[in-house]
Chains A and B, each alone.
Chain A
């Protein structure tokens, strides 16, 4: 007699379920984990950019639990599956515990003194021999603001190079470009509070359910309470977000710009435009010059629903329906993320979404906003606001502005000449310069570029050949393999600091426990390195995290992102605050550019006359509606590579899995990578579900399991990018947006065959 394993599983699973579910527990059976002996500490989730409040449960000097912070306005106590396991990650076996130097090809444990002495000596030698621009810093939207601030000062202010970048270049730069060109200042005008007031959501290039689960939950709850709320999705792939969608437009990857123009055309033609708002608040531009509203209308004439349908592959009637839904709704909130940003025309795509709000006046009032979702917990706070990119200085300043350089140099206490006026190398150019030997030494902090760069294998050469320092909490990673020195960094809960999330909210995180092993706080690693490099006079003053934060917020005073009313003493008591917050008694700003925004309120009356909004980043206070060409992807599909490859996230994993890969539950949830193939394509290719296939692009090939599923449209394939073993980024293209320099991860041409 034989019984198959499947039969056994069926029987045992059913039996266990029958015996365990729905039967009352005996009284006193469970001990309450949270009942006693635990101290709870206020913090913020370490994963995406939503900024959920978490409470860290500590007992006898160990982090033992995490729960949602019910007092936090963002998540109101709810967490996604990743946050639930944060406490386990603190004690992962892969924590890097000691400084190590690679000697004869092998890492050897050394003292902090030896490690930092060695890095300082090498960096100084490179600087002396090749100049400051032979050095570079590559940071992270996961680093705290204080950490990025120290790196910025060391490299831009002391060493004297603007080769300072961070991974937000790879995810948010196009959103920055979009906001600056459309509204005049970076970051959204509204906040999450608009969600519960919106009648319609336009979700473009975002799998909100998996990439920003708590935002999705808020949308879902809002719709459940208000069934008239409508949700439109524009995305080439069906995702879990679809469970709340009323309409889903499936464009060919990279061909959605025409849809947004066609929607704008319909909105104007059918009378949904807010002519008064346009007259008083909006200018029109094409790529070269200012144009009139009439010129813009003429420009849009080429984007009939039929023409847009031909370009995008979406049915014309669906485009019309989407436009009418947007027009009819009294309030509308657009949200997007990497599907728009990671494109060679990411800035343009951002502009075209904001256009819809500007022409209908659906901005600056509750329930209306053009709202970019951020991928990392402190991409906004540390890197965009902190100035951790090659053209920026703290508090939305730029290196090319002499006044800005002088203001920053004064606070930093460095000679103004130290800060170069020319932007440094953006991310792709930086790693290209490593390949070419133009950059000879790099300090990588809290990120894993050997896996996360597009066309990743191309950049391993430079990492292998140049002097690489990696400050990390985890070891090994794809990047530490190329490191000459690894420095153990304190992880979440082992350090205090501030994260600034998607909605302009800055939140304080407590230090709850001492770092594991010999790990140290990144900001102080940088301080001590600076001192060893000979910059003692610029850095010895920083004794505490508070010293750094206070100096930083002094630089924000009087800027559009004024945080001077948010010192630690205040942030420790509250669940963050949305800037501008110019004084300690200011409640924070819900809506920018309008009444309640202290900058708007302080404007002279004549500027505000006849206006409910004043876009103070623009010379005349008017936002810009852009007539951008409807360009497609850099590498469209062709006969040789007939499938469009897109990459993205799954709910249970995050970035390169240095964190989620240490949690058994999350690994079990999604144990391995796969390529999603539409059943029609699979049939044509003779591929069955779970077959091993080869996915190939012009840059590389990858053997991976096929998942035949109707999530991607025919002609499109999708790979979740988290796994080092199935590294999707050896396939992706490193072409980038000429404005934002953000690479086009989201679209390239591929082919698939059975392995």
Chain B
């Protein structure tokens, strides 16, 4: 039971960290830290174990096919870490794909695209 509570607390804390992003990215940089892990292991190698579904989704996408790794959107995890990446990081490659936001409620790429499969959200 104690173990369950600890896990629950961790979950809650991490969700809070995620939600903190809404306050603005600069602040996030200071606040959100990737857990201390063995950084001699690559992102995708570790996450194949810890978040296999996400890795599977990513691999199925164009980004996965081209091996655009986790770090492209989420940072290196040490010096920079963006649990919730901004559209800024998309624009380097996709900057000239004109999207008329006035016709949608979207304010950024991930309003329409799932971050890992890159497919449209079902409700869009």
Contacts and interface: CB of A to CB of B under 8 A. Distances in A.
Given A77-B96, A671-B40, A652 B69 contact: yes
Interface in A210-245: 210, 213, 216-217, 220, 240, 243
B95 A67 contact: yes
A213 B92 CA distance: 16
Contacts of B15: 15-16, 18-19
B95 A19 contact: no
Nearest to B37: A9
A79 interface: yes
Contacts of B2: 1
Residue of A20, A78, A84 ringed by the most chain B CB atoms within 10 A: A20
Nearest to A19: B18
Contact of A25 (B18, B78, B111): B111
A9 B49 CA distance: 10
Interface stretch (A150-158, A362-370, A579-587, A660-668): A660-668
B88 A240 contact: no
A81 interface: yes
Nearest to A652: B69
Contact of A22 (B25, B68, B121): B121
Given A19-B19, A671-B41, A81 B69 contact: yes
Interface in A629-646: none
A28 interface: yes
Contacts of B83: 16, 19-20
Nearest to A669: B69
A379 B105 CA distance: 49
B108 A25 contact: yes
A432 to B, nearest CB: 37
Contact of A24 (B41, B47, B87, B111): B111
A668 B76 contact: yes
B99 interface: no
A11 B7 contact: yes
Nearest to A55: B95
Contact of B14 (A19, A21, A77, A213): A19
B18 A20 contact: yes
A12 interface: yes
B50 A77 contact: no
Contacts of A670: 42
A18 B114 CA distance: 12
Contacts of A80: 66
B25 to A, nearest CB: 7
A96 B95 CA distance: 33
B32 to A, nearest CB: 9
Interface residues of A, number: 61
B65 interface: yes
Given A27-B107, A33-B88, A8 B71 contact: no
Contacts of B77: 668
Given A12-B10, A669-B69, A68 B17 contact: no
Given A209-B67, A669-B71, A84 B92 contact: yes
A571 interface: no
A12 B36 CA distance: 12
Contacts of A20: 18, 21, 83-84, 115
A667 B76 contact: yes
A320 interface: no
A18 B19 CA distance: 11
B59 to A, nearest CB: 10
Residue of A1, A25, A66 ringed by the most chain B CB atoms within 10 A: A25
Interface string B97-123: 000000000011011001110000100
A656 to B, nearest CB: 20
A67 B91 contact: yes
Contact of A1 (B3, B21, B22, B80): B3
Nearest to B116: A21
A70 B92 contact: no
Contacts of B54: 13, 17, 21
Given A28-B107, A30-B108, A81 B50 contact: no
A65 interface: yes
Interface string B1-32: 01100110011001101110110110000000
A409 to B, nearest CB: 47
A12 B17 CA distance: 10
A651 interface: yes
A400 B69 CA distance: 50
Contacts of B51: 10, 13-14, 17
B92 A1 contact: no
Given A33-B91, A67-B92, A81 B68 contact: yes
A309 B38 CA distance: 45
A7 B93 CA distance: 36
B107 A669 contact: no
A26 B22 contact: yes
B47 A13 contact: yes
Interface in A59-102: 65-68, 70, 77-81, 84
Given A668-B42, A671-B42, A34 B91 contact: yes
Contact of B93 (A10, A19, A68): A68
B50 to A, nearest CB: 5
A612 to B, nearest CB: 37
A668 B77 CA distance: 8
Given A9-B35, A32-B88, A210-B67, A1 B6 contact: yes
Contact of B72 (A31, A70, A84): A84
A605 interface: no
A672 interface: yes
Given A11-B11, A14-B51, A19-B14, A669 B42 contact: yes
Contacts of A16: 14-15, 17-18, 83
B120 to A, nearest CB: 11
Contacts of B39: 668, 671
Contacts of B87: 30, 32
Contacts of B11: 11-12, 15
Nearest to A244: B65
B71 A213 contact: no
Contacts of B18: 15-16, 19-20
A29 B25 CA distance: 8
Contacts of A12: 10-11, 14, 35
Given A9-B50, A66-B92, 16 more contacts: A1-B2, A10-B50, A11-B7, A13-B47, A15-B11, A19-B18, A19-B83, A22-B114, A26-B22, A29-B25, A30-B87, A30-B108, A78-B93, A84-B93, A664-B75, A665-B75
| 6 residue pairs, one from A and one from B, having the closest CB atoms | A19-B18, A20-B84, A664-B76, A665-B71, A15-B14, A668-B76
Interface of A: 1, 3, 5-22, 24-34, 65-68, 70, 77-81, 84, 209-210, 213, 216-217, 220, 240, 243, 651-652, 664-672
5 contacts: A9-B50, A11-B10, A13-B50, A220-B65, A243-B65
